[in-house]
Chain A
Amino acid sequence: GIQVEQSPPDLILQEGANSTLRCNFSDSVNNLQWFHQNPWGQLINLFYIPSGTKQNGRLSATTVATERYSLLYISSSQTTDSGVYFCAVAWRGGSEKLVFGKGTKLTVNP
């Protein structure tokens, strides 16, 4: 099956800093989503981005499908950005399931 690797596993920032989270995947995908998991476990959709670039406020994401990676950019980070960020993919050769990476744990200090 498809492999999904996220880096870095942990990231500590000061409020106001920018960051880039990376997701590498091992096969062609027809679905790629970025999620933020809050301390209560809720997975919040950030982007549906199997290819291209999208922006939403301080967040943006880029997926380069031909090179099998996606990047999530967080600018001017806030303490409320803390949590775990997951990348998840569904791949063309497999079933309809989402395969998740292990996540990046982001801590933003005031």
Chain B
Amino acid sequence: ETGVTQSPTHLIKTRGQQVTLRCSSQSGHNTVSWYQQALGQGPQFIFQYYREEENGRGNFPPRFSGLQFPNYSSELNVNALELDDSALYLCASSSRAGVDTQYFGPGTRLTVL
């Protein structure tokens, strides 16, 4: 069974740029959730995708957007990067939205200069 993978591991961008982060869900899982974790804080929910449709969104502006593909992998796109976007971005997959165990990938550490 393949676990959740994320790419890239680390990324450095400058303010105003755009970034795309990628996540491959665990085999057999059709739900992907994205979280942002600032230094010293718990992860904060960005949004969730279930069978290629957005299935819930947290308190993040529209410049945070996502996609889920037919193979259930997912992308997180962030436009017009701000310094406060510097964080660890975590992807989690599960086999059923909400009530099932969520398994997390290793994360992408984004630094915005």
Whether the pair B109, A100 counts as a contact (CB closer than 8 A) is no
Task: State the Cβ distance, A6 to closest chain B Cβ, in Å.
Answer: 9
Contact A35 B104 (CB under 8 A): yes
Chain B contributes a number of interface residues (CB within 8 A of A) equal to: 28
Most interface-central of B43, B106, B109 (chain A CB within 10 A): B43
Residues B45 and A33 in contact, CB atoms below 8 Å apart: no
Q: Mark A32-64, 1 if CB is under 8 A from B, else 0.
A: 010100001111110010000000000000000
Question: For A31, what are the chain B residues with a Cβ–Cβ distance below 8 Å?
Answer: 98-102
- B78 interface hit (Cβ, 8 Å): no
Indicate if the CB atoms of A96 and B97 lie closer than 8 Å. Answer: yes
**Which residue in chain B gives the minimum CB-CB distance to A99?**
B45
In contact, A101 and B98 (Cβ under 8 angstroms): no
Q: Which residues of chain B have a CB within 8 Å of any CB of chain A?
A: 31, 33, 35, 37, 41-45, 48, 50, 55-56, 58, 88, 90, 92, 97-104, 106-107, 109
Binding site for B on A (CB under 8 A): 30-31, 33, 35, 40-45, 48, 86, 88, 90, 95-103
